[in-house]
Structure 1
Amino acid sequence: MTHRPDTSATAVPGPLTDERREIQALARDFAMNEVLPLANELDPQQGAIPDSLRGQMAEMGFFGLLIPEEHGGLGLGVFEYCLVAEELARAWLSVSGLLARGNGMGGGFTAEQQKRLLPLVANGEYLGAYALSEAEAGSDVANLSCRARRDGDEWVVTGTKMWCTYADEADYLVLFARTDPDKDPAKPHRGISAFLVEKPRGTFPPGVTGSKVRKIGYHGWNTWELSFDEVRLPGDALLGEEGRGFYLAVSGLEVGRAHTAARAIGLARAGLEDSIAYVREREQFGRPIGDFQAIRFKIAQMATEIEASRRLMYHVATEIDQGRRCSLEASMAKLSASEMAERVTSEALQIHGGAGYTTDFAVERHWRDARLTRIFEGTSEIQLRVISDELLGRSA
């Protein structure tokens, strides 16, 4: 078996307590022994994450990391959530994304819904997917045109949604639609509402059809374009207050960006660790290529960039857990980690040479998936906009 060096937490002081190290070790063992073999087998053929793996994640409590203990979860913080996410992403980005189909999906639930549904979320029986973005409303998420109108005691939804990952396998969708037809051009975010759309796992609700998005990576599950054709929802499907769905959509941005930073770090770590293993075995000119300074310096630079991004992510997770606003730092962490992940995985592919440009080595998967982290949860350009607005004030 190829030696895989641990580059995840060398001499980490302070926030990595003994309890957190145990959680990290548990997640790492699961990722390397259960997730990685499946990723290596299934990703090249675009196979689906098996239900059995989802069941194992549920048994380990991974879907309930952020759910309070009174609702059946582990009651842990964003720091622990990010530790687990990094380990899972090191094996397969898609599985680390599956983690978020439980944790963090209950925003807007009423007290009654929390009592009824969160225990099901924690044990993996009630996982969700977002139906938020549209063809003309990606970064400009306030520009939604999907419409929900009242009809007696029901809501009727018409429109389309894009980038709905896991929409088929989820047990419910969180749907965002415009309930006020008179969009204010000056304040387009007003009049957007959120809805809980419950459905059987493995199918779409009546009146909803889907087309698969043909992705270059993020395999293991499907991403959909959804069409809603006069879909009827009960009156109590509304999540939170009518017209305030936009605030629900953006309320979890700090956690989402910390989570994405952790996933990007995991991908970069995969590239680094695979490269270290490779340069010890690959020989040219009569010796391992790890003896050549050019390769050694690449490895050193990759490791340094990963650790710098990890420390910033740890800081953001700590700030969130302590209840302090950190939108600036969260955007910095997401920007730093995602840009770093593409650089590091690209260097990893370069270190592998021609072999890296084949599907025989996992490094090409790390590279493909790392590219996505610069796009989802807010593009790098959006993060730069957030950061510059925090520092300079918003431009006219």
Structure 2
Amino acid sequence: MSQLSVDGLALSDEQRLVRRSVREICESFDRAYWRERDASGEYPREFVDALAENGWLGALVPEEYGGAGMGTSEVVVMMDEIAAGGGGFSAAQAVHGGIYNSVPLVKYGSDEMKEALLPKVAAGEASIQAFGLTEPNAGSDSTSIETAAERDGDEWVVNGQKIWTSRVDVSDYLVLVARTTPKDDVEKKTRGISMFLVDLEAAYEQGGLEVEEIPKSASGFVHSFEMWFDDLRLPESALIGTEGEGFYQVLDGLNEERLVIAAECVGLGRLAIERGVAYANEREVFGRPIGQNQAIQHPLAEAYARVQAARQLTYDAADRADGAAEGERGSDDARAAIGARANVAKFLAAEACFAAADAAVQAHGGFGVAREYDVERYFREARLTRLVPITQQLALNYIGERVLGMPRSY
């Protein structure tokens, strides 16, 4: 990597170890590998397997279950490096779920659930890549979900529909969010929602689950699906945590995950700038490299400044999130502070990586849309980061309401 990977960050010994180890893995997968995966839509199994074999999918699994027991500050470095290492935002997303979907089990799963599954996740022998929340009538408004889980003896019966559920095809388990109490029967619409662990193979065999892939133009090798649940029966033990408290369980840790998404954005921005600069230095027009022209140089330089600012903020916010004592983190003030930093980081990182990808495409001229130069993929991915996991507008809503004290807009 060039000087774009140095940037004067003050890293802990653990963070430096993560950066070095993950970078070594990424260097084994060149640009051609990612270009081929994007063209074919084939999931990068070799890359994910390499990370799993080295224990990285168990980054957030406690050491007592065979995991690395890391925190947000280390995972931020990991995902930044994966995105910057050539695979971009899509490569990070290929493993993001496998890392973060274990967190609900760590925090809320029963002892039996944790003992049975977490060691396998840490060893790469089982995956929880899929998280089922979004529905056709419940996108950003998660409290409006209609998928229902009703008790029937010692089982739960699930009916409903999910959409934009990613990595179902490469996952052994699904973390499912469903209503266990109808919205009309609760005092607050955030109540009555629960989380479940679904064994996907058992669900298919039972005939209670059907899936269909959603064709899309960005992150094409990370497949997304529509899911239909028809009287799917789950054992009582499939419940994760407390019945009716699932919405709050989803929110717990959401800010830390948002910081990791921001890191994936800045990693993509770093990658786009690196490719744009390399081409600008190599390509000659009118007898000189095009990078000598300020019309090419300045957009890349400005994008670099914005990416580095977002990166510094993201790393600092991750350190602060990890540094908060458990008692303090649970307070409203601490949660608000972490939430403010997480939403600012996600907003700025997404905007910065989009500007970087745009500058890289522009520097390439007509070749900016040629697949062989890769930057057109970076541009597609950068546009996606302004939509997922939350839109830029929702991040601004949080800042406007929770930080600036303005009236709620929705």
Identity among equivalent positions (%) equals 37
For 1:114, the equivalent position in structure 2 comes to: 114
Paired with 2:203 and 2:39, the residues of 1 have a C-alpha distance of 23
Residue 65 (structure 1) aligned to one of 59, 72, 85: 59
- In 1, Cα distance between the equivalents of 2:271 and 2:206? 38
1:71-102 superposed Cα distances (whole Å, 9 cap, x missing partner)? 11112221110111011112222221233233
Structure 1 Cα separation of the partners of residues 112 and 211 of structure 2: 31
* Equivalent in the alignment of 1:100: 96
Asked if the contact 2:94/2:222 (under 8 Å) is kept, the reply is: no
The worse-fitting range, judged by mean Cα deviation, of 297-306 and 265-274 is: 297-306
The aligned residue for residue 267 of structure 1 is 268
Distance, in Å, in 2 between the alignment partners of 1:184 and 1:312 is 42
Q: Does 1:296 pair with 2:282?
A: no
Counterparts of 2:150 and 2:13 in 1: how far apart (Å)?
A: 52
CA-to-aligned-CA distance 1:320-359 (integer Å, 9 cap, x gap): 2112430111010001101111111111111111000121
CA–CA separation in structure 1 for the residues paired with 2:96 and 2:120: 14
Question: How far off is 1:383 after superposition?
Answer: 0.5
Q: 1:327 aligned to 2:324?
A: no
Aligned to 1:348: 360
State the match for 1:239 in structure 2: 240
User: Aligned in 2, Cα 1:33/1:204: closer, same or farther, shift over 3 Å?
Assistant: farther
Matched letter for residue 74 of structure 2: E
Mapped partners of 1:192, 1:97: distance in 2: 26
Which sections of structure 2, spanning at least 5 residues, go unmatched? Answer: 330-334
Contact 1:183 1:191 in 2 (8 A): no
SS of equivalent residue, structure 2 residue 151: strand
- Deviation (angstroms), 1:126: 1.9
> 1:5 maps to which residue?
2
Question: Aligned in 2, Cα 1:201/1:297: closer, same or farther, shift over 3 Å?
Answer: farther
Q: Separation in 1 of the partners of 2:9 and 2:403?
A: 30
SS of the residue aligned with 2:201?
Answer: coil
Distance change in 2, residues 1:275/1:303 (3 Å): same
Give 1:278's aligned residue.
279
The equivalences for 1:1-396 within 5 A come to 5-13=2-10, 16-34=11-29, 36-50=31-45, 52-90=46-84, 91-92=86-87, 93-106=89-102, 107=104, 108-128=108-128, 129-183=130-184, 187-200=188-201, 206-323=207-324, 324=329, 325=335, 326-393=338-405, 395=407
Residues 168-212 of structure 1 show CA distances to partners (whole Å, capped at 9, x for unaligned) of: 221111111111124358721211111110133996863111111
Counterpart of 1:391 in structure 2: which amino acid?
V
Over 3 Å counting, the alpha-carbon distance change for 1:18 and 1:244 in structure 2 is: closer
CA contact (8 A) 2:145 2:179 kept: yes
Structure 1, residues 28-63: CA drift from partner, whole Å, max 9, x if none? 23223326442122112222222x322211122211
Distance across 1 between alignment mates of 2:120 and 2:21: 23
CA deviations on 1:148-171 (whole Å, 9 max, x unpaired) are 111111111111001110112211
Check the 8 A contact 1:348/1:363 in 2, yes or no.
yes
Distance in 2 separating the partners of 1:115 and 1:97:
26
* Amino acid aligned to 2:24: D
SS of structure 1 residue aligned to 2:217: coil
Q: 1:182 to 1:282 in 2, by over 3 A?
A: closer
Aligned Cα root-mean-square deviation (Å)? 1.9
CA distance in 2, matches of 1:264, 1:205: 39
Tell me whether 183-192 or 22-31 shows the greater mean CA deviation: 183-192
Distance verdict in 2 for CA 1:163–1:351, change over 3 Å: same
SS in 2 for 1:168: helix
- Runs of 4 or more above 4 Å deviation: 201-205
Q: In 2, distance between residues paired with 1:230 and 1:200?
A: 16
**TM-score, L = length of structure 2:** 0.90
Q: Structure 2 CA distance, aligned partners of 1:32 and 1:204?
A: 40
**Deviation sequence 1:224-247 (CA, Å, 0-9, x none):** 000001111111111111111111
What is the TM-score with the length of structure 1 in the denominator? 0.93
Shift of 1:115: 2.1
3-state DSSP class of the match of 2:20? Answer: helix
Question: Aligned pair in 2 of structure 1 residues 308, 223: CA closer, same or farther (>3 Å)?
Answer: same
Which structure features the higher share of helix residues? 2
- Look up the SS of the partner of 1:377 in the other structure: coil
- What letter matches 2:59 in structure 1? L
Decide whether aligned partners of structure 1 residues 26 and 283 sit closer, same or farther in structure 2, where only a CA change above 3 A counts: same
Secondary structure in 1 matching 2:260: helix
SS for the counterpart of 1:227 is strand
C-alpha distance in structure 2 between counterparts of 1:352 and 1:310, whole Å: 25
For residues 293-344 of structure 1, give each alpha carbon's deviation from its aligned partner in whole angstroms, at most 9, with x where no partner exists.
2222222211111110001100111112112430111010001101111111
Question: 1:241 and 1:383 mapped to 2: Cα distance?
Answer: 28
Q: 1:286 and 1:209, CA in 2 relative to 1: closer, same or farther beyond 3 A?
A: same
Q: Which residue of 1 aligns with 2:332?
A: none
**Alpha-carbon separation, structure 1, partners of 2:319 and 2:42:** 36
